[in-house]
Structure 1
Amino acid sequence: MAITISRTDYDELWRACNPAPLVSSHSGYCEQIEVVPEQFGEGYIQFIQLREINLALFNYQLHHDLYIRDEVFGAAWEFGFNLSGNCSGKHTGENFIEWGAYEGEGTWITYANDPVYKVDVHLEAPDALFQLITETLEELPVEIRQHIEDCNRNCFDEINVITPAMRSPLEQIFNCPFQGKTKQIYLESKCLELIALKLEQIKATERSPGTLCLLKPDDVDRIYVAEKILKANLDHPPSLMELARQISLNDYKLKVGFQQVFGTTVFGYLHQHRMETARQLLTERRMNVREAAQAVGYANQSHFAAAFRKQFGVNPKAYVIKGKIGLGL
């Protein structure tokens, strides 16, 4: 079953469900949380107004596929990151830029097969980005550079995959440990980090035009299964050949396809996820250094410490001590 609704009726249901949305104002920023109407699903969208940046955090699950009919016009200066969820032509694991003026009719579809877990970074004015990247503008592809310089052009989309480097600030935004002015500075820095990573991805794509093999939708699904297998077996990961066998792909297509989907090698991804998992275990004080090392597959604690230091610039023991001091323990 699917729900089809006009944008006007959709917005009215949101207003009726959130007659007095939870709003909190702080020095330098404001946040508002709106819950999803029960007719559609459950969860929330959180809007955070920062300096020249509107940050939107989506965390909800639909009961049914949702089709919104709309007549739209305006302008978008947005970077989006779909950690999970298939919305308006963007899918799980994809990031995108929408930039420029738009108008016309359309149907915006959000599917109920995956929970929606995403971050949108909206710039209030296009010149905010232009001022940030003036010195590196010449390094961007011609089409994107022209759109940034002339914001009155028709809107364009640029879609790519979320890289492991992007996942860390995305999760940190959702789990921001600060309040007040510190939270504002922290979130702004993470938004700028995401913008920088996205622009670097665009430049890298331009330098290395697509020579990779074409992947069928079923191949992409299998590569996402491979990712889940790696995450579930950090302590004893399968070999490349074994992983390929488990997802019924040959090892070449797995290697090339994984690089294409995730922007890194299979074991480059595994290493980064191991380090990030270990960091979370230490941050949440659920494990000591030895236990965290074993949990992510390191039998040798000194090898783990070296890898952790290379990834985060600090020894794991020093990281734990620093965290305790910050918490006043």
Structure 2
Amino acid sequence: MVKKRRNFTDAQIVDLTESQEIAYHKLADCVKENGNNEVNHKVYHVKEEYGKGRIDEIHFEDVIISTLVFKLKRDVVLKQKLKIDFVQLSFLIEGERVISILNCDDIFLESGDSYLANIKSFEGTSKITGNKTYKEVKVKLSNSFLAKHGFFNDLKLKELIDDNLILPITNEMMSILETFEKVRFEGTARLIYLKAKVFEMLAVQVSNYKNEHLSNNAFQNSNVLKKLLCIQKRINENLAINYSVAELAKEVGINKTVLNKEFLRVFGKTVHEYSIDKKIEKSKSLLLNTDIPIYEIAEQIGYKNATHFSAAFKRQEGITPKKFKNSL
């Protein structure tokens, strides 16, 4: 029997690959807009088919400040292909999001995570976890805005694929974020206030990246999602080793029952199913692109012999490795 693989089967897919518009505009309808030539404020309500909540969007010059507060009915996967060069500050105050970039490791974000990144292009997905409150503040800045105010003179920004991208939201930064909900200025005074706050956020976040004690390494194993990421990487990089759930759970300091439950929730399959999938995926690549004997392929992905490997391959793909290779 050919095994059916789960791939976002329980999620709503929103395909934006043919569009360059802001992702959440597909999730919500604009219900209110006011402002002037200097500052424009739009309010969106999340469409009933996706859930409940609102999105506030403030535009000025080449800056967009977005505050997202909603609860989705189920997981939503946003598929995007962007060719826009911009800088983004993201602060996930509450909720979970998984960013998957083509040919790169997944980026796991949950309550209290933040990043500052130069996004030159993007091809991949962003999955927002449903059935729980999601609150995020995003600041999108054009390169021309930053250059105009001298921020590119000695500013070295990370990209989404770089190591140590994710930082915890500090108390200082949280205080700044909370002020956006209390803005009472109007007109030019509001523009000056908002620009000052954006500059302050940039300065604080850049400083946080420079402080080694706030680096991602110190927080890498501090919560469940990041522990799952560690396990995923361990499996991917060591396919010749057959880890037990108990071994992996002990390694990252998590209960094995919780590990099984959370791994299934995040990746759509159990630890064992995920491991088998990766082994078979690797074997298919070797069968397709090399002349390595089947028994050696079996050893490389952790099977005792070719017989055990062939049986596992047939359960997964419906045919034996030999027939698979001969059919190419």
The CA deviation at 1:195 is 0.9
The CA deviation at 1:49 is 1.0
State the partner residue of 1:199: 206
Query: Which of residues 188, 206, 217 in structure 2 aligns to 1:181?
Result: 188
More helix per residue = 1
Give me the whole-angstrom Cα distance separating, in 1, the residues matched to 2:135 and 2:203. 21
State the partner residue of 1:121: 139
Structure-2 change in CA distance of 1:101 and 1:210 (3 Å): closer
How many correspondences in the alignment?
A: 207
Give me the whole-angstrom Cα distance separating, in 2, the residues matched to 1:97 and 1:220. 19
Residues 241-285 of structure 1: CA deviation (Å, up to 9, x unaligned)? xxxxxxx99xxxxxxxxxxxxxxxxxxxxxxxxxxxxxxxxxxxx
State the partner residue of 1:257: none
The CA deviation at 1:91 is 1.8
Matched, 1:37 2:56: no
Matched, 1:217 2:188: no
Query: Which of residues 149, 159, 164 in structure 1 aligns to 2:171?
Result: 164
What secondary structure is seen at the aligned counterpart in 2 of 1:74?
A: coil
Q: Please show how residues 134-153 of structure 1 align to structure 2 within 5 Å.
A: 137=154, 144=156
The CA deviation at 1:48 is 0.8
State the partner residue of 2:112: 93
Q: Please show how residues 1-329 of structure 1 align to structure 2 within 5 Å.
A: 1-7=10-16, 14=25, 18=29, 21-87=31-97, 88=99, 89-104=108-123, 106-126=124-144, 128=146, 131-133=149-151, 137=154, 144=156, 156=161, 158-205=165-212, 212=218, 215=221, 217-218=223-224
Q: 1:34, 1:44 within 8 Å by CA — same for their partners in 2?
A: yes
Q: 2:146, 2:152 within 8 Å by CA — same for their partners in 1?
A: no
Structure-2 change in CA distance of 1:120 and 1:15 (3 Å): closer
The answer to which structure, 1 or 2, has the higher relative contact order (CA under 8 A, 6+ apart) is: 2
The CA deviation at 1:120 is 1.0
What secondary structure is seen at the aligned counterpart in 2 of 1:39?
A: coil
Q: Which consecutive residues of structure 2, in runs of 5 or more, have no partner in the other structure?
A: 1-9, 100-107, 228-252, 255-328
The CA deviation at 1:103 is 4.2
What secondary structure is seen at the aligned counterpart in 2 of 1:189?
A: helix
Q: 1:77, 1:126 within 8 Å by CA — same for their partners in 2?
A: no
Q: 1:27, 1:180 within 8 Å by CA — same for their partners in 2?
A: no
What secondary structure is seen at the aligned counterpart in 1 of 2:166?
A: strand
Q: 2:166, 2:216 within 8 Å by CA — same for their partners in 1?
A: no
Q: 2:85, 2:142 within 8 Å by CA — same for their partners in 1?
A: no
Percent sequence identity is 18
**What code does the residue aligned with 2:127 have?**
I
Q: Which consecutive residues of structure 1, in runs of 5 or more, have no partner in the other structure?
A: 148-153, 222-247, 250-329
The CA deviation at 1:73 is 2.8
**What code does the residue aligned with 1:188 have?**
K
Q: 1:27, 1:181 within 8 Å by CA — same for their partners in 2?
A: no
**What code does the residue aligned with 1:191 have?**
V
What secondary structure is seen at the aligned counterpart in 1 of 2:67?
A: strand
Give me the whole-angstrom Cα distance separating, in 2, the residues matched to 1:111 and 1:15. 17
Q: 2:86, 2:143 within 8 Å by CA — same for their partners in 1?
A: no
The CA deviation at 1:176 is 1.8
The CA deviation at 1:125 is 2.1
Q: 1:75, 1:155 within 8 Å by CA — same for their partners in 2?
A: no
**What code does the residue aligned with 1:99 have?**
N
Q: 1:84, 1:93 within 8 Å by CA — same for their partners in 2?
A: yes
Give me the whole-angstrom Cα distance separating, in 2, the residues matched to 1:102 and 1:111. 24
**What code does the residue aligned with 1:120 have?**
K
Q: 1:47, 1:54 within 8 Å by CA — same for their partners in 2?
A: yes
State the partner residue of 2:286: none
The CA deviation at 1:26 is 2.5
Give me the whole-angstrom Cα distance separating, in 2, the residues matched to 1:29 and 1:214. 39
Structure-2 change in CA distance of 1:181 and 1:102 (3 Å): same
Q: 2:17, 2:81 within 8 Å by CA — same for their partners in 1?
A: no
Structure-2 change in CA distance of 1:116 and 1:132 (3 Å): farther
